[in-house]
Amino acid sequence: MLHFTLNNGLEVPAVGFGTYKASRESMELAIEAGYRYFDTASFYGNEGMLGEALRKSGIAREKFMIASKLWKADLGYTSTLEALNRTLEALGTSYVDVYLIHWPRPDLSREDWKELDRESWRAMEEMYSAGKIRALGLSNFLPYHAENIMSCCEVKPSVAQMEFHPGYTQTFALEYYRERKIQVQAWSPTARGRVLDDVLLQELAGKYSVSAVKICLAFCVNEGVMPLPKASSIERLRENLDAMNLTLEPEDMMRLENMPPLGWGGEHPDRERVKI
């Protein structure tokens, strides 16, 4: 299985499973299909379900990688420690492989977000040293949010998660993280289906004899970005995992990188949500 190596030496599979709104059955099917990296969050309310599905598989805990996220309302030093403990308890595990701050601000009115993020990071660094977290991450942080952490941290972020798919690649953030050897992960790597009818995606699906979904996921992997697709049937799960084996020609990558903006999900760390 293709892997990416994080800046602290940890290896992650090139494709992970996204669990937002995923059923217990789809988690079990994902394990059966061969997924070993699972992206959850306290906000998703399914950490307990994921922990049970992983245990029920009979596969050893250390063969899986579990990522979870600190919710906005829990930013701050003590609340971060408490939130992580709740997450570990819900998952039924003594450590998470990756722990990310889900969003940089509790809400738009809070002007003390920089301090809150730093306090959360300090708590996460302590838990990293204590072996309760194997890699630290940021989610939905634009470069200037990340700089707030980078300028004072003892442990560098290893992972940065953001919306990323053909037609919405946030290149400025991608380059920022790449330059700092921080692994980018793509959420909504298929834009929840919104981009699949695009003419270029359809053309490339025809050229490579695969689905447009697979082109989206292969685009991520070929960019060095780890996609976290969510899917419900064993066929889709297998197809998505197999996207790590599809190499797109440089010219096709260039066309995908430069296609017109398309399919933004409507969420931005510094703006009210836009309904799409």
Ligand X SMILES: NC(=O)c1ccc[n+]([C@@H]2O[C@H](COP(=O)([O-])OP(=O)(O)OC[C@H]3O[C@@H](n4cnc5c(N)ncnc54)[C@H](OP(=O)(O)O)[C@@H]3O)[C@@H](O)[C@H]2O)c1
Which residues of the chain form contacts with ligand X (CB under 6 A)? 18-20, 39, 102, 139-140, 161, 187-193, 211, 213, 228-233, 236, 239-240
Closer CB to ligand X, 154 or 270, in the complex: 270
Contacts of 258 (CB under 8 A, 6+ apart): none
Residue in the shown chain whose Cβ atom is closest to ligand X: 18
The letter for the amino acid at 138 is L
Least distance from ligand X to the Cβ atom of residue 47, Å: 12
Closer CB to ligand X, 168 or 176, in the complex: 168
Closer CB to ligand X, 6 or 29, in the complex: 29
- Is residue 44 annotated as part of the catalytic site, yes or no? yes
The total of other beta-carbon atoms located within 10 Å of residue 274's CB is: 10
Closer CB to ligand X, 7 or 211, in the complex: 211
DSSP letter for 97, please.
E
Least distance from ligand X to the Cβ atom of residue 236, Å: 4
Least distance from ligand X to the Cβ atom of residue 46, Å: 10
DSSP letter for 165, please.
B
Closer CB to ligand X, 38 or 95, in the complex: 38
Least distance from ligand X to the Cβ atom of residue 187, Å: 3
Q: How far is Cα 203 from Cα 57, in angstroms, rounded to an integer? A: 39
CA torsion sign for 52, 57, 60, 64 is: negative
The letter for the amino acid at 179 is E
What b/e readout covers 73-106, taking b as 16+ CB neighbours within 10 angstroms? ebbbbebbbebbeebbebbebebbbbbbbbbbbb
Structure tokens, 142: 């634009």
Which residue among 35, 37, 44, 99 is the active-site one? 44
Q: How far is Cα 75 from Cα 81, in angstroms, rounded to an integer? A: 10
Least distance from ligand X to the Cβ atom of residue 232, Å: 4
Residues carrying an active site annotation: 44
